[in-house]
Chain A
Amino acid sequence: MKYHLYQAVQLVAGYDGKMILDEITLQIPSNQISVIIGANGCGKSTLLKTLANLIKPASGEVILDGRPIRTIASKQLARVVGLLPQSPIVPEGITVADLVGRGRYPHQSLFGTWSNQDYEAVAEAMEMMNITELANRSIDELSGGQRQRVWIAMALAQQTDILFLDEPTTYLDITYQIEILDLLTDLNRKHGTTIVMVLHDINLSARYADYLFALREGKLIAEGKPSEVITSQLIKDVFGLDCTIIQDPVTNSPSIVPIGRYHGSGKNTVLEANK
């Protein structure tokens, strides 16, 4: 898989004239898995969408291999960069294979005749997500976990070198969360796909990410390998949460153990909380 230089330079972006991102400058590690963490409303999704050219930045630039992405033709960009939105819209009654096939759009001509390559890409994506047996089922009949695999398969069929995912594990049971993250890791290991995703679970982020970006109020306040970045101070800064960091017994990655008001060492006692 190709190496790509994907950079954001002093990005300022937001909605309705209200700026959420505050001069973010970063470089996405090519061929690795990066995770963006941060509290609700800190701008994780906005950053992801701005990086993927869904939101035009008010100032600053997103640069792919030396070219500002806003100058790249939309279909051409769609062959390199894909994004799975947080809540994609499902057309009623569409079959799984049809939906996955729509990921081939940027590779097809005006009339959309399917080449062998199209069939192979769709088949490979479906096999990788273990949804072959669902191929001709209607997507309405599927469970949440199955649906999410279908959506990821669609993004895979697009065969982009870089894939953005906005909270791919939200609303899923823990079993499916792990399954989805494992499948994405497979994709990264097998094809070298650069993956950038927003995740809510810090411990899973620390496990699966090669690289972390931590946001607070639209600012990038820390980045690096999970083992270097995750400290109790950072969690306090990002989430305003007291915690203890332990070593994940399975992966040796850092794992946070939150301290609430009712539990933990002396000072945050029930009495104090009731005051």
Chain B
Amino acid sequence: MNHTIHVIKQGRMSRRRRWIAVTLVLSILSIALCCAMLLFGNTIYPVRDVVAVLLGEEIKGAAFAVTTIRLPRMLAGLFAGFAFGVAGYTFQTLLRNPLANPNVIGMTSSSSAAAVFCIIVLQSSKAVTSFVSVIAGLLTVFIIYVLAKGTSFAIGRLILVGIGIQAMCNSIITYLMLIGEEHNLPAAVRWLTGSLNGVKLEELPVLMISCLIMVPVICVLGRSLLILELGEQTATTLGVKTDWVRVLLIVSAVVISAIATAITGPIASVAFLAGPIATRLVGTGKVNIVPAGLVGAALVLASDLVGQFMFQVKFPVGIITGIIGAPYLLFLLIRMNRRGDL
């Protein structure tokens, strides 16, 4: 008995240590990337100046670049990346499918379609556009959930319905872009490719506050999420209120990723990559919500730095993450096809 307990404890401790180590390393990496975001730009200001500006000092030139451009850009990348990572991991675990994420189930594209409609047809303000896009995302998820629920909860159906909605929304977006007036197009394009360009500081509190509220909710539900991974029946017999937990998790994940999308646009592949990378690093059997969020943040920040400085032309972050995500998607599809999961 004591030997068995010892063996179990050892296993748990070693997995726990690995979780802590990975989370720590990812945190340090994210912080380092945040610093890089503040330091690098058209002009490289001394660290001392950047710190001074952040503490509220007025230094000519540096103050504008750091507080108006780089700080919002960095915070948007950090929080949006975290939100996408957490939302993606939640969806993937909840639906037990690596393909499942806000993009695949059609939420992101319906948000985008609604936003593009607001910009081009209604010519509404930025705040209204963001609000409508969040509502559209939530509504879509609700519709997909109802359509897919049937009598029992079918995951394959959910993804198929989502792909259908995605195709429909994309055609609406394409149509709107064709009829749109030229001066509205730049604002609309942002909804097609995620970008951290031109994010304003005053846009960020909504995202930051929603993350600070929703991420703890998701973390508390994380244990039930692990039990849900064992399937509907096992979870129910273990005393998880499956419908409740699922709805709460989906709403939380959708809200943070919809709000993040409203600020940065859909940054491709982050929601899709973060979970699997975090799980690979930490191992299964632990709640990987925070690591997934950190991986998401690091991905966005690193990709934005690459997009800004690696090439002659400045690329928006979504293009870089899209390029990273594509091979993984192919790999996943091939693997799933081989196993007969598709």
Whether chain B is bound by chain A comes out as yes
A interface with B by C-beta (< 8 Å):
15-16, 49, 52-54, 74-79, 81-83, 85, 88-95, 97-99, 101-103, 105-106, 108, 110-112, 114, 119-120, 122-124, 126-127, 132, 135-136, 158
B8 near A89: Cβ-Cβ < 8 Å:
no
Taking the nearest CB of chain A, how far is it from the CB of B289, in angstroms?
13
B284 near A105: Cβ-Cβ < 8 Å:
no
Contact of B8 (CB < 8 Å), options: A93, A97, A106? A97
Q: Which of B11, B96, B234 has the largest number of chain A CB atoms within 10 A? A: B234
Among B125-133, B199-207, B225-233, B325-333, the stretch in contact with A: B225-233
- Cα distance, A77 to B227, chains bound together (Å): 16
Contacts A16-B151, A94-B285 given: A102-B237 contact, CB under 8 Å? Answer: no
A135 near B238: Cβ-Cβ < 8 Å:
no
A127 near B234: Cβ-Cβ < 8 Å:
no
B230 near A88: Cβ-Cβ < 8 Å:
yes
- Cα distance, A135 to B7, chains bound together (Å): 7
- Cα distance, A262 to B55, chains bound together (Å): 93
B229 near A89: Cβ-Cβ < 8 Å:
yes
A127 near B231: Cβ-Cβ < 8 Å:
no
Taking the nearest CB of chain A, how far is it from the CB of B140, in angstroms?
26
> CB-CB < 8 A to A102: which residues of B?
226-227, 230, 238
B interface with A by C-beta (< 8 Å):
1, 3-5, 7-12, 15, 96, 151-152, 220, 223, 226-227, 229-231, 233-234, 236-241, 279, 283-285
Contacts A91-B230, A114-B12 given: A75-B239 contact, CB under 8 Å? Answer: yes
Contact of B11 (CB < 8 Å), options: A15, A16, A88, A97? A97
Taking the nearest CB of chain A, how far is it from the CB of B50, in angstroms?
39
Taking the nearest CB of chain B, how far is it from the CB of A105, in angstroms?
5
- Cα distance, A135 to B96, chains bound together (Å): 24
> CB-CB < 8 A to B5: which residues of A?
119-120, 123
A54 near B7: Cβ-Cβ < 8 Å:
no
B4 near A127: Cβ-Cβ < 8 Å:
yes
> CB-CB < 8 A to B96: which residues of A?
89, 91
Closest to B10 in A: A136
> CB-CB < 8 A to B8: which residues of A?
97, 101, 119, 122-123, 126, 135
Taking the nearest CB of chain B, how far is it from the CB of A263, in angstroms?
40
- Sample 21 A-B pairs with CB under 8 A, ordered by A number: A53-B236, A74-B239, A74-B241, A85-B231, A91-B229, A93-B283, A93-B284, A93-B285, A97-B7, A97-B12, A101-B8, A101-B12, A102-B238, A105-B239, A106-B238, A106-B239, A110-B223, A119-B8, A120-B5, A132-B3, A136-B10
> CB-CB < 8 A to B15: which residues of A?
95, 98
- Cα distance, A89 to B231, chains bound together (Å): 6
A119 near B239: Cβ-Cβ < 8 Å:
no
- Cα distance, A4 to B3, chains bound together (Å): 34
B237 near A81: Cβ-Cβ < 8 Å:
yes
Q: Main SS of the interface on chain A?
A: mixed
> CB-CB < 8 A to B7: which residues of A?
97, 132, 135-136
- Cα distance, A85 to B8, chains bound together (Å): 25
A85 near B234: Cβ-Cβ < 8 Å:
yes
A95 near B239: Cβ-Cβ < 8 Å:
no
A74 near B236: Cβ-Cβ < 8 Å:
yes
> CB-CB < 8 A to A111: which residues of B?
220, 223
Q: Which of B10, B11, B220, B241 has the largest number of chain A CB atoms within 10 A? A: B11
B1 near A120: Cβ-Cβ < 8 Å:
yes
> CB-CB < 8 A to A99: which residues of B?
230
Taking the nearest CB of chain B, how far is it from the CB of A134, in angstroms?
10
> CB-CB < 8 A to A122: which residues of B?
8
- Cα distance, A233 to B4, chains bound together (Å): 50
> CB-CB < 8 A to B231: which residues of A?
85, 88-89
Contacts A102-B230, A105-B227, A119-B5 given: A158-B238 contact, CB under 8 Å? Answer: yes
Taking the nearest CB of chain A, how far is it from the CB of B290, in angstroms?
14
Taking the nearest CB of chain B, how far is it from the CB of A4, in angstroms?
16
- Cα distance, A158 to B227, chains bound together (Å): 13
A-B pairs with lowest CB-CB distance, top 8 = A78-B239, A89-B231, A75-B239, A123-B4, A98-B285, A106-B239, A93-B284, A83-B237
A78 near B229: Cβ-Cβ < 8 Å:
no
> CB-CB < 8 A to B279: which residues of A?
93
B239 near A83: Cβ-Cβ < 8 Å:
no
A103 near B238: Cβ-Cβ < 8 Å:
yes
> CB-CB < 8 A to B234: which residues of A?
83, 85, 88-89
B9 near A94: Cβ-Cβ < 8 Å:
no
Closest to A92 in B: B284
Taking the nearest CB of chain B, how far is it from the CB of A191, in angstroms?
15
- Cα distance, A127 to B1, chains bound together (Å): 7
Q: Which of B7, B220, B240 has the largest number of chain A CB atoms within 10 A? A: B7
> CB-CB < 8 A to A77: which residues of B?
239
- Cα distance, A114 to B5, chains bound together (Å): 12
Closest to A122 in B: B8
B9 near A119: Cβ-Cβ < 8 Å:
yes
- Cα distance, A52 to B237, chains bound together (Å): 8
